[in-house]
Structure 1
């Protein structure tokens, strides 16, 4: 039953041996790296940013990635090192005047020239299509070809004039060796920033601790000075009071001496100076005495009987 007509064997059944690994098309890899966002796989459109490892992204895609706080968020390996928007730099790109865009092949029935790129080097004029090595400056975000940076050796940007160092030059879409070097620089840079923040916090804490101690010392010194002033004032008051007391004592002693010598002579002179009208008030005055004719013959004695 069956197998009467025979079967045709396939090639892999006849030829035994290891299969050949399919090679990745270099043109397709270059297009994916230089024309599409590494995170969202969409076409690059301004604003375009680059990370510290030299990969290109759409800024909107990076912001959406950072804002997504879901627990089931898929961590993309290409963006695992991006922790905040400060870890990417917005690129200052130069447009290619000869680039026609996607308008020439809207139907997809024409050949796309991979050599033509949207952006070029502002110094040399090379197109940023992946055939040439391009770099950007981390301080300002300006993009140049590596050839331009080697030919024109300056310490300032050729486009905006911002100063930079060799560590600030980051290669775009570099090789594995380039990525390893850039990764090491990134880790060192972040470690230095963390240490700087910690030192600033420690200094701030020290100043906060020292300020109350300084205030206490200043307040204690003020209290000591106030005490000294009060002691001086009290001493002055005591000396003034002592002087006043001595003066009053001397004055009182003088008065007492005057009173001790004066009373024996002063009343006599004072009585002599009295007028006759004043003397007539008293019964001892001669005008108050009655004569024998005015006196009564009664036996009883009155106060007027003398």
Structure 2
């Protein structure tokens, strides 16, 4: 039962006290954020993307989530705010020349630096391992350290030369307060996009409705002018003092003339030449004689 051979137990061996809270290893926590995908928990590999809240993902895992959102995933709460490809940005990262990969120390006879990161800041040279604050630009996707943006203050990207604003800077793997600010900014941005879309749709409707009304109003006028230009000689000129009886007679004569023009045959027009009349099928030259017509039907009737 113990205490044999003159052993003397101590108090902590006999009395069980409260359990100590297990602390998470700082290096393991940083590696989980900066070296693994926030959705699939796989190692980060190119192409690497980031959301509006500054979380790092593998592009393949996010696309699989967008294609099938009904599938059960352990870390689905990390991508609930992602609605489509427009809500993510592919990062333009700078490789670390000192990074040799994880297979370099297979034998275990070399010193392995756990704080060595795969990527670095192209301006200052700090490693992206979680000990330094990093940001990315939403317009171009370039990644820099916060120290580089503070020391070299400019509105042009240090890597690609594209302009950016203070609103385009997003902190990667920030604190809870920083994530809350980024979430508020994301919601405001989406609200502005909705208002712009509604304004554009209303403007398109207002532009389309008056144009349609104008076309409807101009359509009968064009038809009347076309009929009047077809035969000017057939429309009698109305002359005389203006009055109710004359106007009524003029309208009746105009309507009768337009209807007669529509019903009148071109072959009966004496003022037209024979060349003009031969253009129509009602001309005598376009008609066939009995010798030219056939009384039977063949499989391939190539006849006239």
TM class by shorter chain equals 0.5 to 0.7
Shift, 1:217, TM fit: 2.3
Shift, 1:112, TM fit: 3.0
Query: 2: CA distance between counterparts of 1:91 and 1:60?
Result: 14
Query: 1: CA distance between counterparts of 2:59 and 2:13?
Result: 48
> What is the SS of the residue equivalent to 1:199?
helix
> What is the SS of the residue equivalent to 1:236?
coil
CA offsets per residue over residues 206-244 of structure 1, 9 Å max, x none? 2232221111222355468789999998552778xxxxx
Match of 2:46 in 1: 46
Query: 2: CA distance between counterparts of 1:21 and 1:171?
Result: 30
Match of 1:251 in 2: none
Larger radius of gyration: 1
TM-score, normalised to structure 1, is 0.67
1:85 equivalent to 2:85? Answer yes
Match of 2:103 in 1: 103
Tell me the matched-pair count: 234
Query: 2: CA distance between counterparts of 1:48 and 1:220?
Result: 62
Match of 1:236 in 2: 237
Match of 1:136 in 2: 136
Shift, 1:13, TM fit: 7.7
> What is the SS of the residue equivalent to 1:64?
helix
> What is the SS of the residue equivalent to 1:38?
coil
TM-score, normalised to structure 2, is 0.68
Match of 1:281 in 2: none
- Aligned pairs for 1:259-270 within 5 A: none
Shift, 1:107, TM fit: 4.8
Match of 1:260 in 2: none
1:190 equivalent to 2:190? Answer yes
Match of 1:67 in 2: 67
Greater alpha carbon shift after TM alignment, 68-77 vs 113-122 = 68-77
Match of 1:204 in 2: 204
List alignment gaps of at least 5 residues for structure 2: 4-8, 241-304
Contact 2:134 2:172 (C-alpha < 8 Å) held by counterparts: yes
Question: Does the C-alpha gap of structure 1 residues 82 and 109 become closer, same or farther in structure 2, counting only changes over 3 Å?
Answer: farther
Alpha-carbon RMSD across the aligned residues, in angstroms, is 3.1
Contact 2:39 2:75 (C-alpha < 8 Å) held by counterparts: no
